[in-house]
Structure 1
Amino acid sequence: MRSTEFPASEHTQLLPGIQGNQDYIESGRIQCGHSQNASKTTKPDLAPLLTVNFMSFMSGVNEGSWSLLIPCLKSYYGISDHTVALIFPSYAAGYFVTACCNGAFVHYLGQRATMFLGALGFLAAFSAIMQGFSFPVTVAFMVVQGFGAALLTASENVYIAKLPNSTWLFSILHAVYGAGATVTPLVSTMILAHDLRWNFIYLFLSTVAFINICCMLVGFRNVKLDDKALQSSASNKISYKEAVFNRITMLGTIYIAIFVGIQLTFGSWGYIYLTEGRQGNEEIMGYVVTGFWGGMAIGRLFLGYLANRFGEKSLTSICNSMSLILVGQLWLSNDIVIVCIVFVVVGFLQAPVFTTAIALICKLLPRELHATALGCIAAGTSVGAAFFPFITGALSEIYGISTFPVVCFAMLAVMQCIWMILPDHRS
């Protein structure tokens, strides 16, 4: 896997394949946790910038598609929770392998071709799954969907990483991603409310993927992209083993893997819990899932600002503690109104967890360890995205969907314990 540098900022999003501007780093103009880009006067071209944000929107649309699709796939194929949960390790396998090989794609194909390959991967997977082939074929195309997600997500950040004011641009990119994840449950709810088949959800996804390719063709026309990844000489000299087995790296990897697991578990199994576990109206509960992603999009801007102002450690501890209390309420309450409110607020509170964790890890680790350590954490996210939703589905099959808040409570408790173990960089 190629060496990876991340743009230094308080809220840089960790995603596979980010290649930072090494000239900035070596000249001292970027330090982890402190961005000096604001002083630059150069402005990025608007067309490619808007295109990259639409690419992020496409990634979010993909992420938000799981919740209402799970009950549809169960009904269409006549399968159990345990069986339908196989889509998660399949998707994550495609994402994990592709993320690890992203550097090789860029090296042999160039950044532009890699970007379009990811977009085509999305379109191919959505178009194939829409046909309603047998379930094993659907699972196989989930690998292709993960392949597209990994390449497209990396390409978004390759471009943003080099721009002036990258801190603010990454915050916008992250919020647009959340907006995309908000749109899909909303559209899916409207499709199912009009008694249309689940295939129309994938028709919507395919349409957005096609529009994304068209936007890329126009937005990146005559735009020069760096085809060769920049290498960090410091990263090449440092021991891979020393970086991977660093205490901060291992704790950070587990912490973020669990967070991604919680996010995807809420976004996928949450709808089934609301409708089957709490007997909520199917259409209204679809909007509640939309509210979860919407709360996360808003929280990434608002709580991200507070974390930047008051410190990552304290704010994230408060958010995790409040989330624990609310998930406990989700577990114990039978009032559907309270359950729905809690569901949305948890999305808002968990919004800054990812970026604050990365910011803190950057400050705790020596700079020469960042590339390998953050690459390890990126791979860990795909493991969390596969393992925890799959376990939730397996337990649901054995003990019922009422285990959903129990699993989420346990994950949050472990997260908070790890966060308390991680030292504060100010100490």
Structure 2
Amino acid sequence: MARQQVAVAMEPVTIDEGNRDIEKVLDADTTELNSHTLIDAVPEKVTGPLTKPLSVMDIECGEAQTDTVEHIQTWNNPPMNKWRLLGIHCGFVLMGMNDATPGALLLHIESHYQVTYTVISLCFLAPAAGYMVSSLLNSEMHVRLGRWATTLVGLLLMCVAYSLICWAPPLPILVVSYGLVGLGIGTLDAAWNAFVADLKNVNEIMGLMQGMYGVGATISPLISTAMVTSGLLWSHYYFILLGFAICITCLNAYAFWGETATKYLKDHAPGVNEDGESRSRLSEALKNRYTILLAFVLFFYMGAEAGLGSWIVTFMVTERHGDPAKMGAVASGFWVGLTAGRMGLGFVTGRIGENTMATVYLILSIVFELVFWLAPSILASAIGVAFIGLFFGPVFPTVMIALTRLLPKRLHVAGIGFAAAFGGAGSAVFPFITGAMSASKGVWVLQPLVAALIGLMIVIWVTIPTFEETGLRERICAALIGRKKNE
């Protein structure tokens, strides 16, 4: 009936020019019919402030395009985000302490178990299996367990591993424990990076968050080497990590309370169907070339970062003949630089352009890697490795931001989870390769390996399309191409 009324209203009507009253009535009727038709055709929208981002279903249905204002969460809205970010930042301190510990204690672990570099490097390789398993499970865990339970699973895995390592168990159990740590960190990387990536001012928050990783990696060599020097067994340092992990677990359990599977599915509705939804998203993310390219960037990045962080002390002792009790400070210098770069340069990166600045950071990292490699003195090497950390540090959060800009929102958890886990595998594989090569060639192989990894990162990064808001790299390339044409 409504369609017939609209059809009648749209037909031309002949009206006597003198009868203005009839014309007004018909105009009013036509307007009323059209307005009712529009109201029926357009879904009713709820007005008012929103405190959470639009769901994936909203974006896929085109609702996001009808809003003129983008409603996203901030660091303090909703208020519980303050506690969530506190728990996440503390968690990244723990991750940094964890990753910097094996390198600082490598000589003591090797002496305790009486094994070669190659065998002890299994402690670096074991987490790779954990990282890769987590990359396959992250999206499924979010769907079935929710963000709250997923976070707790990752933290509890680390607690179990530390409770085993702190007693200096037999070598096979030690290797399995490091694998559990890798599984836990891979799970937390996906959950926390995906959460922060959807917040406002992501450059600054992501830089601070990743900078807390550097804080943990800075203090860890100092504390662990001081404990061992005082006569304590190397594994006793893990009692500190265990206590810290328990506190962080409690904090995150409070902060993410209510983030259940139902809540997650409500905010991240499946695109096609609910059966196999997580697998479909992971499959879709893996078919996206940006996921693969950026995953390899992180693979080489974390390989170079972990390779340096794990072998700096050994390199300085064997190649520069430094005092083992003092070379922990050189390793801390690398992590101090990395922390300062992530926290400070994060405020510069977004204002100038992520594409452009990441390229500059990588080039400067290679320059100071050559200083660290070729300078014969301890002081010059220490300065070189500190500046490597300064310029190398901001690259990781920039890659995380690139993933959120180049991938659809529905793929953030799957894409970030896979890329972070794949990168975490690099942090285990390349220290192992360094250890295996050092057994026959010497620790000096660390330097050309790191330089090659940074070079590969540059090659891949320049193929990533411009996603920065300033478009600086695009303008530079256009200017260069224009100049070539003129020449």
Alignment TM-score > 0.5, same fold: yes
Distance 1:415 1:20 in 2: 34
Distance 1:175 1:195 in 2: 31
- Share of identical aligned residues, percent? 28
Distance 1:161 1:177 in 2: 17
User: Does the 8 Å contact 1:37/1:165 carry over to 2?
Assistant: no
The Cα shift of 1:392 comes to 1.0
Matched, 1:184 2:220: yes
Change (3 A) 1:120 1:242: closer
Residue-by-residue CA offset, 1:297-355 (whole Å, 9 max, x unaligned): 11112222221111122212221112112212222221110001111110111011122
2:26 aligns with none
Residue-by-residue CA offset, 1:42-98 (whole Å, 9 max, x unaligned): 342344442332223222222222221222211110111111111122112112212
TM-score, normalised with respect to structure 1: 0.83
Distance 2:86 2:109 in 1: 34
Secondary structure, aligned partner of 1:79 = coil
TM-score, normalised with respect to structure 2: 0.74
The Cα shift of 1:400 comes to 0.4
Paired residue for 2:401, among 347, 359, 371?
Answer: 359
Distance 1:243 1:163 in 2: 21
Change (3 A) 1:20 1:269: farther
Distance 1:311 1:392 in 2: 34
Change (3 A) 1:146 1:73: same
1:51 aligns with 87
Secondary structure, aligned partner of 1:233 = coil
1:15 aligns with none
The Cα shift of 1:403 comes to 1.0
Q: Which amino acid aligns with 2:286?
A: V
Q: Which amino acid aligns with 2:301?
A: F
Match runs of 1:26-425 below 5 Å: 27-28=63-64, 37=72, 42-45=77-80, 46-157=82-193, 160=196, 168-216=204-252, 219-220=254-255, 223-228=257-262, 229=264, 230-233=268-271, 244-364=286-406, 373-425=415-467
Distance 1:72 1:20 in 2: 52
Distance 2:311 2:55 in 1: 39
Q: Which runs of 5+ in 1 are unaligned?
A: 1-18
Secondary structure, aligned partner of 2:159 = helix
Q: Which runs of 5+ in 2 are unaligned?
A: 1-52, 475-487
Change (3 A) 1:143 1:395: same
Secondary structure, aligned partner of 2:376 = coil
Residue-by-residue CA offset, 1:396-416 (whole Å, 9 max, x unaligned): 111000111111111112222
Change (3 A) 1:118 1:266: same
Distance 1:135 1:294 in 2: 32
Deviates more, 1:101-110 or 1:202-211: 101-110
Q: Which amino acid aligns with 1:226?
A: T
User: Does the 8 Å contact 2:104/2:225 carry over to 1?
Assistant: yes
Deviates more, 1:350-359 or 1:395-404: 350-359
User: Does the 8 Å contact 2:55/2:269 carry over to 1?
Assistant: no
> Runs of 4+ in structure 1 displaced over 6 angstroms?
38-41, 234-242, 366-369
User: Does the 8 Å contact 1:59/1:149 carry over to 2?
Assistant: yes
The Cα shift of 1:154 comes to 3.7
Change (3 A) 1:207 1:362: closer
How many residues matched? 404
User: Does the 8 Å contact 2:87/2:252 carry over to 1?
Assistant: yes
The Cα shift of 1:292 comes to 1.3
User: Does the 8 Å contact 1:106/1:227 carry over to 2?
Assistant: yes
Change (3 A) 1:132 1:407: same
User: Does the 8 Å contact 1:114/1:151 carry over to 2?
Assistant: yes
Change (3 A) 1:252 1:77: same
Change (3 A) 1:241 1:149: closer
Residue-by-residue CA offset, 1:16-58 (whole Å, 9 max, x unaligned): xxx99537856539x9xx9864889834234444233222322
User: Does the 8 Å contact 1:58/1:180 carry over to 2?
Assistant: yes
Residue-by-residue CA offset, 1:337-379 (whole Å, 9 max, x unaligned): 0001111110111011122234345545566766655444234
Distance 1:334 1:36 in 2: 55
Secondary structure, aligned partner of 2:232 = coil
Change (3 A) 1:421 1:164: closer
User: Does the 8 Å contact 2:212/2:339 carry over to 1?
Assistant: yes
Aligned CA RMSD, in angstroms, stands at: 3.3
> Max radius of gyration: which structure?
2
Deviates more, 1:207-216 or 1:152-161: 152-161
Distance 2:371 2:382 in 1: 11
Q: Which amino acid aligns with 1:420?
A: V
Q: Which amino acid aligns with 1:141?
A: S
Distance 2:409 2:143 in 1: 24
Secondary structure, aligned partner of 1:65 = helix
Distance 1:240 1:54 in 2: 28
